[in-house]
């Protein structure tokens, strides 16, 4: 992660990502939903810590967006689990991204994997 992205799209939201100084003692990142979704990450962190902090703060955005009310402990657990999965499986993120992007239609909706079809019995049951 040479450079943090300036923004990340998530559903209808555009989350601004900012590299900042002096978030406070022991604070690596912050997220806020209002007035607009923003993730701030301590720019003095090493690359791995920036990436982990970005995942962590995005989990807070997801939690708030879906009213999940995840605790800080739950967010930390998910951050570490996701990070470990990605670390232990090089190329997995790209494989998933390629697969997902190939399945989205032009308006960004996921087409049905198994569209409902009528069985012969259903067709004759009129």
Q: How many helices and strands in the chain, by DSSP H and E?
A: 4, 4
pLDDT at 48 over 50: yes
Residue 19 host element (H or E)? strand 13-20
Domain map (residue ranges) of the chain: 1-90
Better-scored residue on pLDDT, 111 or 40: 40
pLDDT at 51 over 90: yes
Sign of CA dihedral 46, 48, 52, 57: positive
In this prediction, residue 76 carries a pLDDT of 97
Chain segment 1-29, per-residue pLDDT in tens: 568 899 999 888 899 999 999 888 889 99
pLDDT at 118 over 70: no
In this prediction, residue 85 carries a pLDDT of 96
Better-scored residue on pLDDT, 57 or 107: 57
Chain segment 61-116, per-residue pLDDT in tens: 999 989 999 999 999 999 999 999 999 999 999 888 888 888 655 555 555 554 45
**Cα angle at 84 between 67 and 51, to 5 degrees?**
70
Span 44-71, mean pLDDT? 94
Give Cα separations from 118 to 19, 110, 112, 125 (angstroms).
54, 21, 15, 10
Question: What is the rounded distance in angstroms from the CA atom of residue 4 to the CA atom of residue 86?
Answer: 18
Span 33-61, mean pLDDT? 93
3-state secondary structure at position 92: helix
In this prediction, residue 29 carries a pLDDT of 95
Pairing of strands 13-20, 7-10: antiparallel
């Amino acid at each position: 992660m040479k450079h943090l992205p300036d923004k990340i799209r998530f559903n209808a939201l555009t989350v601004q990502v900012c590299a900042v100084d002096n978030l406070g003692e022991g604070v690596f990142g912050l997220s806020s939903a209002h007035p607009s979704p923003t993730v701030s990450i301590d720019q003095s962190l090493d690359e791995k810590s920036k990436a982990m902090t970005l995942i962590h703060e995005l989990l807070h955005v997801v939690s708030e967006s879906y009213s999940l009310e995840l605790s800080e402990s739950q967010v930390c657990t998910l951050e570490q689990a996701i990070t470990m999965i990605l670390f232990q499986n090089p190329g997995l993120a790209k494989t998933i991204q390629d697969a997902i992007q190939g399945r989205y239609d032009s308006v960004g909706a996921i087409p049905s994997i198994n569209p409902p079809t009528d069985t012969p019995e259903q067709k004759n049951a009129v």
